Amino acid sequence: MQEQQLKPKVISSTTLSTPQLYAIEPVASSISTFPTTRYYGSKRKLLPWVFDSVRLLEFDTVLDAFGGTGSVSQLFRAMRKRVFYHDAFHFNTHVARTLLTEDATINVERLNAILDAVRPIKGTIAQNFENIFFLPSEDEWIDGFATLIGEMTISDADQSLLLYLLYQSCLKKRPFNLFHRPNLAIRTASGVNRSFGNATTWERSFREHMLQGLAELLTYRRDRLPPATVLPAGDVSLLEPGYDLVYLDPPYVAADERRNRDNYWRRYHFLEGLSKYPEWSNLIEPGSNIGMMPEPTHFTDWSRKKHFKEKLFDLIDRNKNSTVVLSYVKAAYPDDASIREFFESRFANVTVHSTEHSHALSGSKRRELLYIGVPK
Ligand SMILES: C[S@@+](CC[C@H](N)C(=O)[O-])C[C@H]1O[C@@H](n2cnc3c(N)ncnc32)[C@H](O)[C@@H]1O
Residue nearest ligand 1's atom 5 by CA: 68
Residues with CB under 6 A from ligand 1: 39, 41-43, 66-69, 71-72, 87-89, 92, 235-236, 249-251, 264, 298-299, 302
Q: How far is the CA of 236 from the centre of ligand 1 (A)?
A: 9
Q: Measuring CA to CA, which residue among 101, 122, 222 is closest to residue 164?
A: 101
What confidence score (pLDDT) does residue 310 get?
A: 98
Angle at 25 between CA 358 and CA 22, to 5 degrees: 155
Q: Is the pLDDT of residue 272 over 60?
A: yes
Q: List residues bridging with 65 in a β-sheet.
A: 248
Alpha carbon distances (Å) from 109 to 106, 112, 145, 211, 215: 8, 5, 17, 10, 11
More confident residue, 252 or 192: 252
Q: Is the pLDDT of residue 149 over 80?
A: yes
- The rounded mean pLDDT for the chain is 90
Q: How far is the CA of 67 from the centre of ligand 1 (A)?
A: 6
- Per-residue pLDDT band at 2 (split at 50, 70, 90): very low
Residue nearest ligand 1's atom 15 by CA: 299
Q: Is the pLDDT of residue 191 over 90?
A: no
What ligand 1 atom has the least distance to the C-alpha of 87?
22
What confidence score (pLDDT) does residue 188 get?
A: 85
Q: Is the pLDDT of residue 243 over 50?
A: yes
The CA distance from 37 to 151, in Å, is 28
221-225, 328-332, 354-358: least confidently modelled range: 221-225
The CA distance from 183 to 133, in Å, is 7
- Per-residue pLDDT band at 186 (split at 50, 70, 90): confident
45-54, 193-202, 307-316, 344-353: least confidently modelled range: 193-202
Residue nearest ligand 1's atom 11 by CA: 66
- Strand, helix or coil for residue 64: strand
Q: How far is the CA of 7 from the centre of ligand 1 (A)?
A: 30
- Per-residue pLDDT band at 199 (split at 50, 70, 90): confident
What ligand 1 atom has the least distance to the C-alpha of 43?
8
Q: How far is the CA of 332 from the centre of ligand 1 (A)?
A: 16
Q: Which residue of 83, 264, 300 sits with most ligand 1 atoms within 8 Å of its CB, as the best mutation to test the pocket? A: 264
Stretch (H or E) spanning 230? strand 229-230
Share of the chain above pLDDT 90, in %: 79
Rounded average pLDDT over 342-358: 96
Task: Calculate helix-pair angle for 47-54, 71-78, nearest 10 degrees.
Answer: 50
Stretch (H or E) spanning 300? helix 297-301
What confidence score (pLDDT) does residue 18 get?
A: 39
Q: How far is the CA of 122 from the centre of ligand 1 (A)?
A: 32
Amino acid at 192: V
What confidence score (pLDDT) does residue 224 get?
A: 74
Rounded average pLDDT over 60-83: 97
Rounded average pLDDT over 230-242: 98
Residue nearest ligand 1's atom 16 by CA: 299
Q: Which residues contact 277 (CB under 8 A, 6 or more apart)?
A: 124, 146, 147, 150
Domain ranges of the chain: 3-102+229-253+303-374, 108-223
What confidence score (pLDDT) does residue 217 get?
A: 93
What ligand 1 atom has the least distance to the C-alpha of 72?
8
The CA distance from 325 to 58, in Å, is 13
CB neighbours (10 Å) of residue 241?
13
pLDDT tens digits, one per residue of 290-330: 999 999 999 999 999 999 999 999 999 999 999 999 999 99
Query: Please, which contacts does 237-240 make with residues 24 or more away whose CB atoms are closer than 8 Å?
Result: 237/298, 237/311, 237/314, 237/315, 239/63, 239/65, 239/86
Written out in words, the top-level CATH class of the domain with range 3-102+229-253+303-374 is: alpha beta
- Per-residue pLDDT band at 11 (split at 50, 70, 90): very low
